[in-house]
Amino acid sequence: MLGHFSYHNATRLYFGEDSLNDLYGELPKYGKNVVLIYGGGSIKKNGVHDAVTEVLRRCGKNVAEDAGVMPNPTADKLREGVRIARAHHADLLLAVGGGSCCDYAKAVSVSVHCSEDPWEKYFDRFEEPDCEIVPVGCVLTMAGTGSEMNGGAVITNRETRQKVGHVFGDEVMPKFSILNPRFTMSLPKRQMVAGVYDIFNHICEQYFSGEDDNVSDDLAEALMKAVVRNSLAAVEDPLDYQARSNIMWAATWALNTLIACGKTTDWMVHMLGQAVGAYTDATHGMTLAAVSLPYYRHIMPYGLPKFKRFAQVVWGVDAAGKTDAQIAREGLTAMERWMRKIGLTMTLTELGATAEMIEGIADATFILDGGYKVLDRADVVRILQESL
């Protein structure tokens, strides 16, 4: 049965081809000074920057730009963003980009009025903000992280080789997010499929925990099947609006805390992948893809009923004449076929990791206890070795 839980989501979403027009209704709720946050400049090439700045201009906003947010935002970049926001007396942080920009904006939001170093307070000691928080809004250009509707922020410290996530409370969630699937269509295929796997694994991280039959798992299975179906369509035709819009909507529901209700949740694939990312600076979704199957094959015996259900419900594995373990293994094999078909990176070697890095990556991996087996360090090393 489902245990006791509380659910609330503070973010207002605007979805669809005309959703940028909804920015006109949101901007007047905030002060005059806006910091526009974005990444490497792709939004200038695809026209999104011009479209957003035109809305800001018409709304009479005083805009400062914080550009150059990298795919794995760093602690140094966070400190730079804090300086920009302070100098501009920011009333609103508007992130235009993918999950990295949204994560970064949330990290800046809790740091502008913080008297301590943000890395040490939030990503080393995992403390909660006790200062004024600058509101965040998002205009999403890549589907994957779900950062547009949650309180998570992941920051990388290159000096210490740590990539750490902090899930903040409701007050740090974006106040609003604009989701126009057209804005995602200029992404290179590699980025699109990396986002797809990030979505899928977010669902898996919540699904592969607990034994009870509950609605959260039913929702997770429906989302997983939708991601598989629409990812195949989008790889076939990247301009398929229906597929891209379904992927974008699935990404939001995969990690806005809904399907975690009543679950312990796992998140060890993310801990492994983030540790790899801290060493290699590889694309987040690809690090998850590289470690997933070795991890799931390692823990499968400890959560066999759920892996059997996953095989049958999500992948349509025929159970006739097979043991539970055979059914579960077939499910993971079907998952692997899909991953390869959409073009995911399947090994850490392809991402730049080497055998010599394994010990350091293992040391950088946080061990969590919400899944079917609590790993020890030897387990982590073995999984990483099998991921090479």
Taking only the tens place, the pLDDT of each residue in 338-377 is 999 999 999 999 999 999 999 999 999 999 999 999 999 9
Do residues 374 and 235 share a domain? yes
- Structurally, how many domains does the chain consist of? 2
**Looking at the structure, do residues 109 and 196 belong to the same domain, yes or no?**
no
Residues 259 and 229 in one domain: yes
- ∠ CA 8-10-16, nearest 5°, is 115
- Are 241 and 149 members of one domain? no
Of 36 and 1, the structure prediction assigns the larger pLDDT to 36
- State residue 211's pLDDT score: 79
DSSP 38-100: --SSHHHHSSHHHHHHHHHHHTT-EEEEE----SS-BHHHHHHHHHHHHHTT-SEEEEEESHH
Looking at the fold, whether 317 and 336 belong to one and the same domain comes out as yes
- pLDDT surpassing 90 at residue 213: no
**pLDDT band for position 7 (50/70/90)?**
confident
For residue 128, the model assigns a pLDDT of 96
Shared domain check, 378 and 258: yes
Among 168, 183, 198, where does a domain finish? Answer: 183
Asked, for residue 4, whether it belongs to a domain, the answer is: no
Do 234 and 157 have their domain in common?
no
> Whole-prediction pTM value?
0.95
Give domain status of residue 6, yes or no.
no
Last residue of a domain, one of 183, 211, 232: 183
Q: Are residues 179 and 85 in the same domain?
A: yes
Pair 179, 204 in one domain: no
Structural domain span for residue 284: 188-387
pLDDT level of residue 63 (50, 70, 90 thresholds): very high
> Beta partners for 154?
165
Look at residue 2 in the predicted model and tell me its pLDDT: 64
Please check whether residue 90 lies inside any domain of the structure: yes
Question: Are residue 145 and residue 262 in the same domain, yes or no?
Answer: no
Q: Are residues 24 and 135 in the same domain?
A: yes
